């Protein structure tokens, strides 16, 4: 884990982020361009420490981050490329 921003040790005495919360934020940032399931995020967080984390725990962390406005979930944008390709060929 890179030590920067809010996850940096000693960055701010008022903001206490756990290592798992920092890893979750980093995982969300890595997956920002696509859809990521709770299981995917949990595996990413757990992979950093070679342990396991329950996807329900990830959901709890994400809920807490949403409540403090650190996270704003949006639906993923996806386009069915096959339907666009077939409609433009006509």
Annotated domain spans of the chain: 5-89
pLDDT at position 56 over 90: yes
Structure tokens at 53: 């984390």
pTM of the model: 0.64
Structure tokens at 69: 């406005």
The SS3 call for residue 60 is helix
What is the pLDDT averaged over residues 57-83?
Answer: 80
| pLDDT interval class at 59 (50, 70, 90) | very high
Cβ contacts of 21 within 8 Å, gap of 6 or more: 61, 65
What's the CATH fold of domain 5-89? Answer: Arc Repressor Mutant, subunit A (1.10.10)
Q: Which of 51-55, 59-63, 79-83 has the highest mean pLDDT?
A: 59-63
Cα 85 from Cα 87, distance rounded (Å): 6
Nearest to 58 by CA among 11, 14, 26, 16: 26
> Mean pLDDT, the chain, as a whole number?
76
Q: Check: CB of residue 62 under 8 Å from CB of residue 24.
A: yes
């Amino acid at each position: 884990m890179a030590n920067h921003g809010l996850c940096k040790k000693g960055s701010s005495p008022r903001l206490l982020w756990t290592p798992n919360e920092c890893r979750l934020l980093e995982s969300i940032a890595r997956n920002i361009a696509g859809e990521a399931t709770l299981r995917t995020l949990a595996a990413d967080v757990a992979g950093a420490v070679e342990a396991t984390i329950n996807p329900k725990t990830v959901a709890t962390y994400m809920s807490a981050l949403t409540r403090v406005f650190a996270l704003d979930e949006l639906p993923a944008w996806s386009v069915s490329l096959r339907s666009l390709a077939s409609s433009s060929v006509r």
